[in-house]
Amino acid sequence: MAADARHIVQGLQGIVGESNVIHHAEDLLVYEYDGSIDTAMPLAVAFPTSTEEVSRLVALAQAEGLPVIGRGSGTGLSGGAIASLGGIQISLTRMNRILEMDAGNHLAVVEPGVLNLDLDTEARKHGMRYAPDPSSQRACSLGGNVAENAGGPHCLAYGVTTNHVLGMEVVLEDGSVVWLGGKTRDVPGYDLRGVFVGSEGTFGIATKIAVRLLPVPESTTTLLGVFHDVDAACNAVSAIIGRGVVPAAMEMIDSVCIEAIINVTKGVFPADAGAVLLVEVEGLEEETRGLGPDVEATMYDSGASEVRLAADAQERERLWSARKGAFGALGTLAPNYYLVDGVVPRTRLAEMLGDVERIARKYNLLVANVFHAGDGNLHPCLLFDEREAGAAERAVKAGGEMLEVCVAMGGTLTGEHGVGLEKKAYMPLVFTGEDMEAMERVRDAFSPSGRFNPGKIFPGGPEYDHAAQRSAVSSAGPAAYI
């Protein structure tokens, strides 16, 4: 190790202890990537357990002129937690305490390493729940959810992360600690809380998060519509919302994705379905008793061959477990996937999916679709094997063309995964140079030196370059299967 690197590592160890810093190349391999395909190696990773330690780590990085990358569970899908310019990763996984559970005021205060599902599970013990529920709910952390403004199946009715965060304790680039927002719905002054949520780690690091909780609904009805093709399922989506019904969630899964799920979980989805539509309505028992049959009839009118009603909570859990395990199940079809996160107007979903299939064929890629149909947020998963020469490049090019079509249809680049590294080259499709300059000025107000998660969101600097990646597979050799 070079003398300057050794000096940095010793400084980190002096703050969090020797056992809470990793810096050997073989140990850093698991921190060079997130849930997608971009990779870059940090100089070191530190594991603080308190706000005071985070503050000192950030101040050290500032004094040494090093980039700082906050990292949660590493489940992100846009390269947001990648140390694209090197520097220090601050992993917040050991700051995982639920600090306050206030049932009377329907709020909780948590550290950023608390897992989304753990918060929801604890809240339900008090008759409440945390509504945002990404598909990676079992693994993703609240700090990462805040950074990316994560969504999830139930964001159709309840909104995304920013709609449920009341305030945050934040460490700024000089190590100072401030609160943005608070524990109430309304606070005087600028909504700095709202600006921070979704800033993808470029403003600072949240060390405490106050979130609002919702009562557990009195009644939940979950239906599974089975369709011969995706077009019919898309028609059902528009028809349901056209009747004035706003379900708590409305998820669509195509035949390729169903095949993958069946490889892992038997007996949940029919093998011969062209697509399935998972719809959930919540509220008072009288309300769901009326809406359930209405949704069922609308799906049949739209061409469903079958509509199943979850008989109990266990069957409902099986349906949602299969849906949320879809991305992992794709590993039974191919060793890698490149996930595109785009948005189109809901009425153009069927048209967009036709273009997705066309582009996938153009690049000789198999595509699996699973998405939040109710708000037009689609997730084409391009399946490939990165050991095949040029396969990753084809997937990235295909994904880029899909994003271009999304924007041309009146949509946008991301619904919930953030811009990060993967979509920053496409920002000019949506924003003018003046727009982006204004955003950069806001970033600079929080982080004048730009050391927090640099190289993300805005065009320029390191971008996806498969030839330059130091991936685990290439490090282990072309015959490896990792």
Describe the chain by its helix, strand, coil percentages, rounded to 5.
40, 20, 40
| Rounded CA separation 155/159 (Å) | 4
pLDDT value of position 462: 67
Do residues 34 and 75 make contact, with C-beta atoms less than 8 angstroms apart? yes
Residues 6+ apart with CB under 8 A from 125: none
- CATH tag, 334-418: 3.30.70.2740
Name the class of domain 98-215: alpha beta
pLDDT value of position 372: 94
pLDDT value of position 155: 93
Do residues 95 and 112 make contact, with C-beta atoms less than 8 angstroms apart? yes
CATH 3.40.50.720 fits 219-324, yes or no: no
Do residues 404 and 281 make contact, with C-beta atoms less than 8 angstroms apart? no
- Per-residue burial over 185-202, b = 16 or more CB atoms within 10 Å of its CB, e = otherwise: eebeeeebbebbbbbbbb
pLDDT value of position 479: 38
Nearest to 203 by CA among 264, 269, 147: 147
Nearest to 390 by CA among 409, 419, 363: 363
| Rounded CA separation 371/130 (Å) | 21
List, edge to edge, every strand of the sheet that includes 165-171: 98-102, 107-110, 205-212, 165-171, 177-181
Residue-by-residue pLDDT tens, the chain, 482 positions:
676 899 999 999 999 999 999 999 999 999 999 998 889 999 999 999 999 999 999 999 999 999 999 999 999 999 999 999 999 999 999 999 999 999 999 999 999 999 999 999 999 999 999 999 999 999 999 999 999 999 999 999 999 999 999 999 999 999 999 999 999 988 889 999 999 999 999 999 999 999 999 999 999 999 999 999 999 999 999 999 999 999 999 999 999 999 999 999 999 999 999 999 999 999 999 999 989 999 999 999 999 999 999 999 999 999 999 999 999 999 999 999 999 999 999 999 999 999 999 999 999 999 999 999 999 999 999 999 999 999 999 999 999 999 999 999 999 999 999 999 999 999 999 999 999 999 999 999 999 999 999 999 999 876 544 333 333 233 333 333 32
pLDDT value of position 2: 72
Q: Scanning the structure block, which residue is given the tokens 């949320």?
A: 324
Whole-Å CA distances, 375 to 151, 307, 348: 11, 22, 11
| Rounded CA separation 398/360 (Å) | 6
Task: Tell me whether the CATH fold assigned to 219-324 matches the one assigned to 334-418.
Answer: yes
Is 36 strand, coil or helix?
coil
Alpha-carbon torsion 451, 457, 459, 463, what sign?
positive
Give residue limits of the domains in the chain: 98-215, 219-324, 334-418
